[in-house]
Amino acid sequence: MFMTPSAMELQVTLILSCLLFSTALALKCNLCIPSPSGSCENIVTDCPGQCGTLTVFRSVGGELWNMTSNLCVIDMQCTSESVNLKNLLIAMNMKCCSTDLCNNDTTPVLLNQTANGQKCYTCVGQNCNAECQGRHCNKTSEIVECVGNEDRCIDITAAPPSVMSKIIVYDGSNFQGLSKEFTSDVPNLKSLNFDNCISSLKVIGNPWVAYKDANFGGEPAVYEEGEYPSVYYNNISSLEMVTEDLDNPQITLYEDQNYKGQSLVLDCETSLLYGAFNDTVSSHKVQKGAWVLYQHKDRGGHKLVARVGRDMPKYDWFDNRFSHVRPLKAGRTIVKAEVQWDKKTEHVKSVMIDDFTGVNNGSEKQTFTTDMIREYSGSVTESFSFTNTTQISVGTRFDIMFLNAVAMNTLNISNTFSVEVGKSNTKTTSESVRVSLPTTIPPHTKLTVNVVRKEVAITVPVKLTITTGFTSKVEYGEYKCEKGNSIMAEYKEEKLQPKKVITEIF
């Protein structure tokens, strides 16, 4: 979680503005809410509750930013709040008073940084996938000491907004009947009046695990992204979303309990049927991703879901009884393209594609050509290229949106260019360009007409943000536009000396 100072100031301004609405007027207080530049003009206003001085703090990596405001508050708002992620601290500290104009101090209300004995596990971003899976936090996670009035530990889980994972369930097959949509874990479908009735479902984004019992118990069934007109069994009582980073999966299987004996490291779907580990595994550790263990070959029989942070030192019924294992696949990849116009390069050159010459030695205008208009072929070629090390899967499609109106008009391009990984991604638009030519040549003139095409080649880097499931990474591609549809005629007149006429007299 991160906010820029301007975003934080806007949020705080909105919060503070809401505190000012009331019909009861009693106490006179100073009112001074800073603008984004940090300055404010103090005024005196009537307040229904108390006068207050509020300081908002944000600290990232030890660098502290704060903003102090004078305002009206009600009694219940005279408190301090903070969220402490160790390397990121966001806090609001309020000091209240109850006499006229008592909040005339703009000195920041200092935070109480005294440790209070409370400790919490902390992890942010992708580190959470490896170390701290929500309620399954393990003791290798980093620890933060709570200070002041910080009195509880919290879990915050959020999916990137552009790839929100969700599951849509129906009480009839083929997506018929009543339906419900979920974007987070559902420990008990009975409380939502949808227990033991799911007959079909659709998954968008990361996989989901359906369980026969409430609170994620009983036989699991795994559903990756797709549409399922029927389900493995319809007595589903709880649903859990897979939130791990599913790229580069890895699991270690152990012959004995408590991760002892011979081990086998796997990074892809594997049948154990013809190897030394068939029906001999008693414990496992997942280093990356989420896996499904099957009782029989070809994904048959009973199943067990293995996930990061939920290592199993001892199997129960499943001990020495599975023959197949596979990693779960992430949902669709979403690519966001950002054209970096400020880094574009441009090359312009003129190429002569036709020429005409006419000479008029006479004293009257002469016809140069009977064709007043000539047509030439022009074109605009757009292309996009990836780096040789791109991590985007073949077949992934996305659009590049051109939001720079000046550039679009200059290049004569549309506002969208569609790209598919593995295709040529080159588009050429041809058009006929009409060029006007002179019809006559002035007296005593040599007229030269050159038809010139102006060729403009523009190269622009494109930032690609690639989001799969709950992980994002950045790489760059290159957009090129070669414009050759600007064609014009250039005239050059060269005056000739009239020829002398010599008359001989005999």
Residues 60 and 75 in one domain: yes
User: Running DSSP on this structure, what letter comes out for residue 186?
Assistant: B
Between CA 288 and CA 246 the distance in angstroms is 7
Alpha carbons within 13 angstroms on the beta-carbon side of residue 192 total: 22
- pLDDT score of 201: 96
- pLDDT score of 249: 95
Q: What angle do CA 497, 500, 501 make, to 5 degrees?
A: 150
Residues 82 and 223 in one domain: no
Does residue 140 fall inside a structural domain? no
Residue 5 pLDDT level (bands cut at 50, 70, 90): very low
Does residue 138 fall inside a structural domain? no
Maximum Cα–Cα distance across the chain: 135
Block residue for tokens 């403009």: 456
Give the closest residue to 384 by CA, choosing from 457, 475, 459: 459
Residues 359 and 481 in one domain: yes
Assign residue 415 the CATH number of its domain: 2.170.15.10
Does residue 261 fall inside a structural domain? yes
Residues 360 and 436 in one domain: yes
pLDDT digits (tens, 9 = 90+) for 429-458: 898 988 888 888 999 999 999 999 999 999
Assign residue 180 the CATH number of its domain: 2.60.20.10
Least confident of 57-61, 168-172, 371-375, 465-469: 57-61
Return the number of other C-beta atoms located less than 10 Å from residue 121's C-beta: 17
Does residue 505 fall inside a structural domain? no
Does residue 457 fall inside a structural domain? yes
Residue 77 pLDDT level (bands cut at 50, 70, 90): low
Q: Which of 327, 354, 382 is the last residue of a domain?
A: 327
CA distances from 256 to 135, 279, 284, 485, 500 (A): 27, 12, 9, 73, 116
- pLDDT score of 128: 54
CA distances from 152 to 116, 125, 321 (A): 11, 20, 42
Does residue 116 fall inside a structural domain? no
Residues 491 and 414 in one domain: yes
Between CA 176 and CA 169 the distance in angstroms is 10
Whether the Cβ atoms of residue 412 and residue 343 lie closer than 8 Å to each other: no
Residues 86 and 51 in one domain: yes
Does residue 40 fall inside a structural domain? yes
Average pLDDT, the chain: 82
Q: Which of 217, 241, 265 is the last residue of a domain?
A: 241
Looking at the DSSP bridge assignments, the partners of residue 122 are 142
Q: What would the two tokens of residue 286 be?
A: 């997942």
Q: What would the two tokens of residue 249 be?
A: 């999966």
Between CA 178 and CA 295 the distance in angstroms is 34
Residues 229 and 280 in one domain: no
**Nearby residues of 301 by Cβ (< 8 Å), 6 or more positions away:** 294, 295
Q: Which domain holds residue 61?
A: 5-111
- Rg over alpha carbons for the chain, rounded to the nearest Å, is 36
> Whole-structure pTM over 0.95, yes or no?
no
Does residue 151 fall inside a structural domain? no
Average pLDDT over residues 171-188: 94
Residues 391 and 449 in one domain: yes
Looking at the DSSP bridge assignments, the partners of residue 441 are 366
Between CA 248 and CA 392 the distance in angstroms is 14
* Element containing residue 352 per DSSP (H, E): strand 345-360
Residues 373 and 444 in one domain: yes
Residues 463 and 425 in one domain: yes
| φ and ψ of 502, to 5 deg | -100, 125
Average pLDDT over residues 91-113: 77
Q: Which of 69, 93, 111 is the last residue of a domain?
A: 111
Between CA 498 and CA 491 the distance in angstroms is 21
Residues 354 and 487 in one domain: yes
Q: What angle do CA 111, 113, 118 make, to 5 degrees?
A: 125
Block residue for tokens 């708002």: 77
Whether the Cβ atoms of residue 380 and residue 413 lie closer than 8 Å to each other: yes
> Quick one: three-class SS letters along 32-48?
ECCCCCCCCCCEEEEEC
Average pLDDT over residues 14-29: 50
Residues 303 and 378 in one domain: no
pLDDT digits (tens, 9 = 90+) for 114-172: 788 888 877 655 455 434 444 444 444 578 888 777 777 776 654 444 456 899 999 99
Share of the chain above pLDDT 70, in %: 81
Q: Which residue has the higher pLDDT, 295 or 54?
A: 295
- pLDDT score of 240: 95
Q: Which residue has the higher pLDDT, 204 or 414?
A: 204
Q: Which residue has the higher pLDDT, 30 or 475?
A: 475
Assign residue 69 the CATH number of its domain: 2.10.60.10
User: Running DSSP on this structure, what letter comes out for residue 11?
Assistant: H
Between CA 392 and CA 385 the distance in angstroms is 12
Per the structure, the count of domains in the chain is: 4
pLDDT of residue 7 exceeding 70, the answer is no
Average pLDDT over residues 447-476: 90
> Quick one: three-class SS letters along 203-244?
EECCCEEEEEECCCEEEEEEECCEEECCCCCCCCCEEEECCC
